[in-house]
Chains A and B, each alone.
Chain A
C-alpha cells in the first residue's frame, strides 16, 4: 500500500483536485441561472443535473486522465516504480495501487455529482422520482465502467511515453468514443463496406454511457436487460483496455 499512499499524498499535496471539487459543487447551482429559464422555471432542475454530469465528464477528461498520465510518467521517470519493483511489488499491484489512489479522489467527485443530480433535482411525481433515482444510478455505473479502465490505460501509457503524449492519446480515445463516432457514423456505418463497418463496430462507443438526455428530458430509466448489455459491452472494452495496459506498462524509462 506504500505506492498507493505515496501517490495519494502527492495528489493531495498538489491541490488541483480542490479546484475541480469546488467547481463540481458550485457550478451546477450557478450555470442553470445563466440560462433563459424566466418563462420556464422547470428548466432549472434538469439543467442542474445536466451541469453536474457534464462537469463530471469534464473532470474525467481533464483531471482524471491527466493525473493518470502524468503520475505514470513521473513515477517511471523518477525511478519510483523500479524501487517498488526491487521491493517485490508486482506490476499488477503497482498499476492497481496507482489507479486506486487517483480513483479514490475521483470517486469523491462522482459522488458529489450523483448527490447533486439525484437529490437537488428530483422530480415531484413519485413514479418519475423513482425513475430519476434509477437513471442516476445507471448513469453512475456506466460512467465508472468507462472511466476506470481509461485511467489504467492513461497510467500505463504514461509509464511508456511522455506524460503529455499519454494524456493526448487517452483523452483522444475517450473523445473519439464520446463524440467522434457520431461524426463518422455516416461514413463508417451507413454502407456495406466490411472494413469500414468493422472499424465502426470495434470503435469504443462511449456515447452509450452518456445518459444525460435521459435525465434532461425525463425519459425514465433504461430497462435492466438493455443496461446489462450496455454494461457488458463497455465492460468488455474496459477489460480490453486493461489487457492492453499490461504490456504497455513498464517500471523504468
Chain B
C-alpha cells in the first residue's frame, strides 16, 4: 500500500496518461494538416508593433550600410552641416539636391533613403554596366526622369568627402553639448583607421547581413514604403548581390506587396507602397524585354497602367476619406508634404503611360519623319 504513495509511482501514474492524452490531441490536430508554428509569435509581424519595429530598424540598417558598404561612419546631421555642405557631393537631408538627368537611371534606394527622415525617394546613378535594374522603355519615354541621382555609389568609399565628427561650437546648451560629445565618441568608436579597404568577402557578408535586416523589416511591415523598396533594391541590383534567382523573388515580393495593399481599407499610404511595387513590376518587365531585345506590347503596357492607375486611385480616395475623417491631420505637415510629393512623383510617372500608348497607336514613320515632326519642319 505504501508503495502506491511513492512519488515515483504517482509521477508515472500521471505522466503516462498525460503523454497519451497529449499524443491523442496531437494526432487529432495533425490529422487534417501538420502542426506547424505560424512563425509569427505574438502576431508581431504586420501588427502595429511590427510597423513600429520596422521603422526603428531603419537606423540600424542605415548604420550597417554606412559602416559596411560605404565604410564611413554615420553621424548626426545638424542644420548647420546641411547649410555648410556646399562642397559635399551628397546632401542627406534634401533629395532634390541629387536631381540630375541621365539617359539611364538605376532605381536605387539606399539604406539612407529609408532613414528616419523618410528620404526614401532618391536614386543612384549606375557605376557599372552590369546594373541590370535600369529603367528604359522606348527611347523617348522615361518616367524615371523625375528620379534623382544619388552619388554614394560613385564616391569611392567617401574618402573625398569624409564625414566629420560633430563638434560643439560653444554656444549650445549643456545638454546639446553633452549630446554632441556622445555623438563624437560614437564616431570615434566606429571610425576606420586601417588604411586598407575591407575585403571583398567581408563586404559580401555585410551586404547579405543588410539583406537579412531588410527582409526582417519587410516581414514586420510589408506595406512600409522604405522597407519594401529597399528590400526590392537588394534583390534586384547586381551590385548588392542580386541575381536572376533573387530577381524572380523580387517579382513575387512585389506581387505580395500589391496583394497586401489591396486589402487595406483605411491607410492611404499602403496604396503608395503598392504603386511602388507595381512600378517595380513594370520596370522588371521592361528590363526583361530590353535584355531580350524586344518591345513591350500595348496590351502589357495597358495592364501595368491599369494596375498602377487603380492603386493610385485608391490612394486618392482613401486620402480624401482620411482628410474628411480628420485622420490626415494626425500627421505632421512635413510628413504630409513628403507623402504628397511621393504621390506626385508616382502620378507624374503614371501620366507617361498615355504618351507611351499613343506612340504605339501612332503610325510608325521613319526616323527622319519622326525628327522632322519633332522639329516642326516639313522635311529634313
Chain A residues at the B interface, C-beta cutoff of 8 Å: 31-32, 34-44, 46-47, 50-51, 53-54, 57, 91-92, 178-179, 181-182, 185, 189, 201, 205, 207-208, 210, 212-213, 215-217, 226, 229-247, 249
Q: A205 and B35: CB pair below 8 A?
A: yes
Most buried by A among B23, B42, B51: B42
Q: A235-B21, A236-B22, A246-B7 are in contact. Are A39 and B330 (CB under 8 A)?
A: yes
B43 at the interface (CB under 8 A from A): yes
What chain A residues lie within 8 Å of B29 (beta carbons)? 208, 226, 229-230, 233
Whole-angstrom distance between the Cβ of A25 and the nearest chain B Cβ: 19
Extra contacts, 5 of them, besides A226-B29, A243-B12, A247-B7 (Cβ < 8 A), are A36-B48, A39-B269, A40-B267, A236-B18, A236-B21
Q: A229-B29, A240-B15 are in contact. Are A91 and B38 (CB under 8 A)?
A: no
Chain B residues at the A interface, C-beta cutoff of 8 Å: 7-8, 10-26, 28-29, 34-43, 46-49, 51-52, 55, 266-269, 322, 327-328, 330-331, 335
Chain B's closest residue to A245 (CB) is B11
What chain A residues lie within 8 Å of B269 (beta carbons)? 39
What chain A residues lie within 8 Å of B42 (beta carbons)? 50, 53-54, 57, 210, 212-213
Which of B8, B12, B25, B38 interacts with A213 by CB under 8 Å?
B38
Chain A's closest residue to B332 (CB) is A38
Q: A31 and B266: CB pair below 8 A?
A: no
Chain A's closest residue to B19 (CB) is A240
Most buried by A among B15, B327, B328: B15
A-B contact count (CB 8 A): 154
What chain A residues lie within 8 Å of B34 (beta carbons)? 189
23 A-B residue contacts at CB 8 Å?
Answer: A39-B266, A39-B267, A40-B327, A43-B48, A47-B47, A181-B37, A189-B36, A201-B23, A205-B37, A207-B37, A210-B41, A213-B38, A232-B22, A233-B22, A234-B22, A234-B25, A236-B19, A237-B18, A240-B18, A240-B22, A242-B14, A246-B8, A246-B11
Ranked 5 nearest A-B pairs via Cβ: A233-B25, A243-B14, A236-B22, A239-B18, A236-B21
Q: A36 and B14: CB pair below 8 A?
A: no
Complex Cα spacing A238 to B21, Å: 10
Q: A50-B48, A189-B36, A243-B12 are in contact. Are A36 and B24 (CB under 8 A)?
A: no
Complex Cα spacing A178 to B15, Å: 21
Which of B36, B40, B46 interacts with A185 by CB under 8 Å?
B36
Q: B14 and A246: CB pair below 8 A?
A: yes
Chain A's closest residue to B34 (CB) is A189
What chain B residues lie within 8 Å of A226 (beta carbons)? 29
Complex Cα spacing A226 to B33, Å: 12
Most buried by A among B15, B25, B28, B266: B25
What chain A residues lie within 8 Å of B25 (beta carbons)? 229-236
